[in-house]
Chain A
Amino acid sequence: MESIKVNQSIKNNNDFIEKISIESGQPVQQCYQCGKCTAGCPVAFAMDYTPNQIMRMVQFGMKEELLRSKAIWLCATCQTCTTRCPCNIELTKVMESLRIMADKEGTTPSGSAKNIKTFYDSFVGTIEKYGRAFEVAAMLQYNLNSKHFFNKAALGLPMLQKGKLKLSPSKVKNGSEIARIFSEVRRMEGEGE
């Protein structure tokens, strides 16, 4: 990370800091860097910035670095940090708001984190289409988009043999209700409500 001028960064990115506070509903300014979140985080070892660093970067308004970071995607949403934070900050929600902002602004994370986003997109795509998750379609879509064509292929056959994969989706009858949820959400978010 390059050195930054903190005062300048906070001033320039005040909107961002406020937006993350509001979207996540969390008092991000109250973090005093005790590090308990990072100590308990199961995936901190694989992150580019640890959870407590993410919190500091939010306080400093380091928008670009945050939205590009792998950490916000690697967060497994296990809620350990949220459960243990002495300031009652729900870090899981802060991470979520950062992910959603990165997604909306079209910021693509690098390497292993990119695959997580690709998987989420594939998975949510099957929900929109069928109303229920359809693993086979989500996996194939993921493998195509991530260019990991044979990912999990070794598990596919045993799963089929054990009846743990279905080749046709189980669909919701009222598909129009699911389509409505997606279109209404797009409409409301498009209007910036």
Chain B
Amino acid sequence: MRYAYYPGCSSDTTGKEYEATVRIVCKNLGIELVDIPDWSCCGATAAHGKSHLLNTALPARNLALAEEMGLDVVTPCAACYQQLATANKEMKENQQIAEKVNQATGKNYQGTIKVKSIVEVIGSLEPDIIKAQMVKPLKGLKIAAYYGCLMVRPPSVTGFDDAENPMFLDNLMRLAGAETMDWPHKTECCGGALQVSNEHIVVKLLDKIYKEALKSGANCMVAACPLCHFNLDGCQSTCNRLLGTTYEIPIFYFTQLLGLAMGLNQQELQFNSHFTDTRKVLKLVG
């Protein structure tokens, strides 16, 4: 199984532990990731405020590079996934835009490839392949799996999992021996796009998500996006400071926990790069 891999701009900064563990976990599961040579920013959550053409051309340059490799694209970041998958749909369905975009990029994207989230790729493997790698079951972890907005919505662009009650992450965590919670805020927006400019709004969204996670009995959360993760983990202290709350919920990347169940050591998994302490809950796993 081979994919053109789009790491995204967070891969060497806020999402570095996600990047590292995606690569190790995929290798162990027999998924080959070939980096898209000289990939560029997809426009993230900002270019849609400037120009529709620009917002399609930025991801389309990467689609064209992947098409030259003859491979489908996979990306770990939910925001990159949304950008790439939306542009891909538009390039396939709207010839007028496609012509302008190809003119802008100077490339000739034909729309022959698919865009997938890393969650879809790993979660679509035969359960036995994953189970065979699980040497250290994640006992004691009660996980609220957080999918966020951009991985499962809108279904016309994403479509691999249910838009209101997705299960891919839950199923993976269960295969790793953890318990996952049935909770209502799996896909509730954390406000990542407003994190820099409007933290007073963002903390209210975070507060609701943390509250529901704890109410369901979870002792930690998993995320599958560096923007969600940075918001949920890095800004938990901001939420506590501004709202007087006392949350201390460890937020893991799902690949860190898969890696833990694969027997990888803590250094490889980089739990120490989190802002919210993970040690207490990891003691449960032993």
Contact = CB atoms under 8 A, between A and B. Distances in A.
Contacts, number: 174
A116 B198 contact: yes
Interface string A89-102: 01010001101100
Given A79-B149, A120-B49, A152-B196, A164 B41 contact: no
Contacts of A123: 44, 46
Contacts of B154: 79, 82-83, 90, 92
Interface in A86-128: 90, 92, 96-97, 99-100, 103, 112, 115-121, 123-124, 127
A185 interface: yes
Nearest to A151: B196
A73 B41 contact: no
B196 A181 contact: no
Interface residues of A, number: 64
B48 A132 contact: no
Interface residues of B, number: 60
Interface stretch (B7-15, B114-122, B133-141, B277-285): B7-15
Given A127-B41, A127-B43, A139-B196, A42 B52 contact: no
A188 B100 contact: yes
Given A78-B153, A99-B48, A177 B198 contact: no
8 contacts: A100-B50, A103-B50, A115-B197, A120-B46, A121-B50, A127-B40, A127-B43, A158-B275
3 closest pairs, A vs B, by CB? Answer: A78-B189, A78-B149, A79-B153
Interface of B: 9-10, 12-14, 16, 38-41, 43-54, 57-58, 61, 82, 100, 103-106, 149-150, 153-155, 163-164, 187-189, 191-194, 196-198, 200-201, 204-205, 230, 234-235, 238, 272-275
